[in-house]
Every structure is written in C-alpha cells, then in structure tokens.
Chain A
C-alpha cells in the first residue's frame, strides 16, 4: 500500500492538481497534499511514497490517470503508471540543486504542524531559546547570510542594529510583498512550508527582542495567506507562538497584513508606511528602520527567503552555510527560472555557479530549438545579461558588474524572438505606473523614458534618442530617493549597453530584428503552402488579404499593420514574417 501525495501549490493547482486530487478521491484513495517541489513545467505532480521513501514521482498527471494510480498504490505494482514516471533527464532538474530555503517544499504537508516537526521543525527554535540573543546573531554573522529580497545587505548587521536600538517596543516585519514580476519563490515557501517562515521569524524576534511581528503579504497570493493563517493558528495552539514560547518566558506573536498592491512597498520604508495605513511612499534614510521604523519604533525587516534559511543555519551551524558559495556571497539562492526555458520552475543552487550552468545545465536551455539571446535578472530594478556574459558567476558583485543585479531571484530567459527595445519598454511601462510619485525624476522621468521607447518601437525613433535615454537615466539615478527609483533605468541602460544594434536597427532602418514590434513588421503568404481557405482574410482587421477560394491568397503590404492575426489563424503554416 503506497501513500499518494499530490503537489498543491498555486502552480500545481493552475495546472489542474485540484482536479487530479478529486479524481483520486473518486477512485477510492485518500491522497495527502504537499506544496510545490519547484518543477512547475511538470505539474500536476503526484508522488507515491512507501513510508518516508519516495518510490515514484509521476508527472503531468491527468484526472483520467487516477484509476491506474489508485490501483498501483493499492497493489504496490508500479507497472501501470511507469508511463507517467519522471524521466531521468527531468530528475536532473531536481537532483542538481542544493535545497536549504526550499528544503521542505514539495516534501512535507504544508498544512500539518506534525509533518513539520517530524522534519526537525522547531528544533532550531528550541536550541535558540537556550542561547543568548548575541550568540544567535553571531551564528548568523558566521553564516554570511545576506538579504535575499534584492539588496543583499548582511542579515546579522540589521539584527544587531535593531537589538542595540534603544526602546522596549521593537517590531519584526517579514517582507512577503514579492513584487518583482517573474519571481515567486516567496509565494512557494509560504504555500509549501509556512512553519519554516514562522520558525525563522521567531528566532529573529528573539535575537532582536521583538514581541510583535507582521508578515506583509501580497494580496495576489490568496493560497499563501490561507496556509500561513492555518500554520499560525496551529503554532499558537501548540504553544510555539504567542505568550511564553515553548515555556521559555519569551513571548512573540505574528500577524498577517495583506498588501493592497503597490510595487514600491517592497522598499522597506514604503512597506512601513503601508503597514501604518498610509500611501506606500518611501521615507528618507537615515533614520533607518532599525532606529525608527513601524510607529517610529525600532524595526527589522527581512524577506521570506532570508527567514527560510535561518532555522537550517542554527541547526547545522553558520560555518556549514558559509562553506557554500563565493568570497562575497555565501550559501544558496533560489531562482525562478521562466520565459523561453525548456525546464522552468524554482531552482535553488549554491552561489558561485555560472549563469550558463543554471540556464543550460539545470534549465535545459532554450525551448523549441531557438537561440538564447538574454536573461533578465532582478526584475524592474535589474538588467538583461547577454550570451557573451553567460559565464558570470552567481555572486552579488559579479552580477552587479554586468549592470544587472542578483535581485530577488527572477531569471526570465529570452530567445531570438524577444525584442530588447520592447523589453525595456515593458519594464518602463511597469515602473512608470508603479512610481509612487514622490520624486520628480522618477515620476516624470520614467514616463518620458517610456514615451521615447514607445516611439522607437513604433518606428518613429529619432537620431539621438539613445543619447537622450542615457541622459534621462542618469538624471533618474541621481534624483530618486529610494532604491526602486534609482534602479528604474537599469533595464534601459543594460539593453543599450548590450543590444545597441537593436536600438539602431529600429531607429535608422525602421526594422525590428526580433520581428516582435508590430509597427515594424509585415507578413507574407507562402503560395506553396496556402490552401486558399480564407481563414486569414476573415481574421485580418484591416482587410489587407485577398484571394480566390482554393487558390493562394496574398497580403497587400501597403495595408498590412503587422498584427499577426493571419499568422495565428493559418492552420497550414503558410503565413510568415516578411
């Protein structure tokens, strides 16, 4: 009799894990659940366990497979489900990783406190309660753990500053406002292993002397909020959270605050403003939150992934964590590998691996036989790294030298069909909308950048536009108060630095080399492939296509607006970019 476990993270559910679980229940089984193992491209995933041992991982499971899985679990004979078993190649996606922050994700039941405790859960907290706060901070210092939310500031330093700040009332805040489009590790940790966040936060609260803590979660993560609420309730009932934690005399409670949707609230002082109920606009630093944070009391803010490492460090020792990585960057980092990648999902690796090893080794390279063009790291604050720099190591300084940043770990891979000018425009559209409006350079500068990029992608670029972009970028970098404003020009600057030829092609030749910009492309019909069905002509919004039934159709280039409706409508692959 094998135990059936269904992966029920948001990604799994979106891929149909809920329907698979229902089908398994109809087939007479009682499947357990787990969170996200990170191999999103293989969802829905069903694991078969014998005791604690994983006997088989089944991937891309459909509801129709339920009877076969139920029979295999009942008899222990896996022959009927081998066709669903994960391939050796896909197994490598997981086996080449080193999992610390994600150690329980996709392994334990996120809704069970017992499951977390059986996996050494809350043992680090017990250990810490017998240590002095100073010793805890020292252990974190030895580990070299740095903020995983983007800035990479040493965690021990922040804890120490909050510990040493004057005042009895101190606050601990978890930044779970994961706003970088393309990053979702924090969601995965909360959905898949909420107790590890709670344990990390309690250890930090003990170290700095905070009795109250908040988790500021994005409203777009409903499942994460539900799972965290349950975990907090279970921990409270078990005497782990609240008054007199584990009978130690130390008290701390954690509350959830749902964010209301503003990218800038990822900046810590803006997050504090938002927690207090105001518009999330950054404050001037100093004073730093460690001195005057929430309600002007000393506060410490770390992000989810940072906290998820803490219990492991306490149990295994800071030195073991520091043994991984490079001189400047210790431990592991989680990346969300997405875009035009063959094997996408969450990847946790030791610092120091090269981008090539992550994208091609673990991610399997580009899908559909296309060619790699760039990888975008760090979201709207980051930049695009070209093929020539793929041997750059995952290291705060080395990535920073490319003009991109480590960031929170979004890694969006692009192929030859992605236009880099359009990519820069995409990010500036984002930052222009998300600018809080406090600083003129950011509020208006990002808008002007977006306008210039728009005219370039529409084929109306002017000679000198690139220089104008660069000048504006410098102004925004100098003139913005917060880190988000200062880094907003990075997507523009890195694409100019590495893909200047694409800008020039748009401006001088009115040509989009990637064929993405609609205003700069035309389509044509291959008469040899066209069957004369007329599907494209019916879809064309400007009536640029004409022809006789059962004879090849043709597109009038003078009328074509390059929308691509015809290409999407053609069932014979006869329409292509001219």
Chain B
C-alpha cells in the first residue's frame, strides 16, 4: 500500500477489488493510515459511491436527475420495483440485481436513463425497462451471484 494515497483513494481500491467495502478493510486502512476506524467509516459513508454491503451480480443505477425526473423516472423506479421487487439501495432475493438511485448520469437528452454494469440504456419506458432486466436475468440462467 502506498502510504501517500488518501483514504478516499484507498477505499476506491478496496471497492474496485471487492465490489464493496468489507468491515475488515476499514480497520486495516485505519491502522495503516494511523487514524481511527470512525474517521475511515465517516469518509466511507459520506460518499454515495461507497457500498458497505455486498451488491448483487448486476448493478442497476437509475438516474434521478432533473431531466429524468421531468420525463418520469419515478415510473421507471415503479416498473423495476414491480419486476424485481426492490427499491433504491436494495438487492433482489436471488442476489442478481442491486438497484441504486443516482443523482445524474449525464445522458440527460436520453432521459429517463439507467446504467446496468456500466452500459447506459436511454429513452426508457416502464415496459422497456422491465424487458431489459428480464433479458439480463434470462441470460444469467436465473442463477444467483
């Protein structure tokens, strides 16, 4: 570990490796940086990017930006809830999907937008959003993570 790296950078490394920040890693970073675990936890919970629990196999980021709001992002959230049974910050029981609401994905002209595993899907309708997650679920053969 590079001791000159900041706490934010170290947390980003951990999350890139694990997909989330396990509790042990918070203690490890605190010990190596010589600060309290509370300070590291404070940083980890301040930023929306950091997750403290294991995400599902597929990460859905649903944009709740202004343009998406005006073009009914709430309707997409309701459709995903209907299809997957999860709301913002939740993971489906089969471990296949985690849904997160994000402030803006910067694809406002294609609103409403969601990003799944880094791929953006635009001009969504409730039906289209359901179809996209269904296709991903089918391609996963229904197997959990």
B8 in complex: contacting residue of A183, A274, A337, A436, CB < 8 Å? A274
> Which residues of chain A from 297 to 340 have any CB-CB distance to chain B below 8 Å in the complex?
336-340
Q: Which residues of A are in contact with B by a Cβ distance under 8 Å?
A: 10-11, 13-15, 40-41, 43, 178-184, 187, 218-222, 257-263, 274-280, 336-340, 344-345, 376, 379, 410, 412, 414, 418, 423, 426-427, 430, 434, 436, 564, 568
Separation of A274 and B66 alpha carbons in the complex (Å) = 25
Contact, CB under 8 Å: A219 / B49: yes
Separation of A394 and B145 alpha carbons in the complex (Å) = 51
List the B side residues contacting A568 at CB < 8 Å: 75, 126
Contact, CB under 8 Å: A10 / B107: yes
Contact, CB under 8 Å: B108 / A14: no
List the B residue with the shortest CB-CB distance to A220.
B105
A-B contact pairs, 6 of them (CB 8 A): A15-B123, A182-B65, A183-B108, A220-B61, A338-B67, A338-B111
Q: Nearest chain B CB to A214's CB is how many angstroms away?
A: 11
Contact, CB under 8 Å: B6 / A379: no
Separation of A274 and B108 alpha carbons in the complex (Å) = 26
List the B side residues contacting A218 at CB < 8 Å: 106
List the B side residues contacting A43 at CB < 8 Å: 109-110
Given known contacts A277-B8, A340-B70, A426-B69, A14 and B48 CB-to-CB distance under 8 angstroms: no
Separation of A412 and B108 alpha carbons in the complex (Å) = 9
Contact, CB under 8 Å: B107 / A11: yes
List the B side residues contacting A426 at CB < 8 Å: 66, 69
Q: Most B CB atoms within 10 A — which of A222, A261, A336, A338?
A: A338
Contact, CB under 8 Å: A260 / B106: no
B46 in complex: contacting residue of A41, A280, A344, A418, CB < 8 Å? A280
What secondary structure prevails in chain B residues at the interface with A?
Answer: mixed
B104 in complex: contacting residue of A13, A182, A219, A222, CB < 8 Å? A182
List the A residue with the shortest CB-CB distance to B104.
A181
Q: Say whether B20 faces chain A, with CB atoms less than 8 Å apart.
A: no
B110 in complex: contacting residue of A40, A276, A414, A564, CB < 8 Å? A40
Separation of A516 and B57 alpha carbons in the complex (Å) = 35
List the B residue with the shortest CB-CB distance to A40.
B109
Q: Which residues of B are in contact with A by a Cβ distance under 8 Å?
A: 5-12, 42-43, 46-50, 61, 64-71, 75, 102-111, 113, 118-123, 126
Q: Most A CB atoms within 10 A — which of B68, B70, B106?
A: B106
Contact, CB under 8 Å: B11 / A182: no
Contact, CB under 8 Å: A412 / B66: yes
B7 in complex: contacting residue of A257, A261, A277, A376, CB < 8 Å? A277
List the A side residues contacting B107 at CB < 8 Å: 10-11, 14, 40, 184
Contact, CB under 8 Å: B120 / A10: yes
Given contacts A261-B50, A336-B109, 15 further A-B contacts (CB under 8 A): A14-B122, A15-B122, A40-B110, A179-B104, A262-B48, A276-B6, A278-B7, A279-B46, A280-B47, A336-B108, A338-B66, A340-B70, A340-B71, A426-B69, A568-B126
List the B side residues contacting A221 at CB < 8 Å: 106
Separation of A244 and B69 alpha carbons in the complex (Å) = 49
Contact, CB under 8 Å: B113 / A14: yes
Q: Nearest chain A CB to B42's CB is how many angstroms away?
A: 6
Separation of A507 and B145 alpha carbons in the complex (Å) = 49
List the A residue with the shortest CB-CB distance to B33.
A277
Given known contacts A182-B67, A260-B12, A187 and B106 CB-to-CB distance under 8 angstroms: yes
List the A side residues contacting B48 at CB < 8 Å: 260-262
Separation of A332 and B122 alpha carbons in the complex (Å) = 29
List the B residue with the shortest CB-CB distance to A260.
B47
List the A side residues contacting B102 at CB < 8 Å: 220, 261
Contact, CB under 8 Å: B106 / A345: no
Separation of A41 and B107 alpha carbons in the complex (Å) = 11
List the A residue with the shortest CB-CB distance to B118.
A222
Separation of A13 and B113 alpha carbons in the complex (Å) = 12
List the A side residues contacting B123 at CB < 8 Å: 15
List the A side residues contacting B49 at CB < 8 Å: 219, 259-261
List the A side residues contacting B9 at CB < 8 Å: 257, 277
- List 10 A-B pairs, minimum CB-CB distance, nearest first: A277-B6, A40-B109, A181-B65, A260-B47, A14-B120, A184-B106, A261-B48, A181-B104, A261-B49, A338-B67
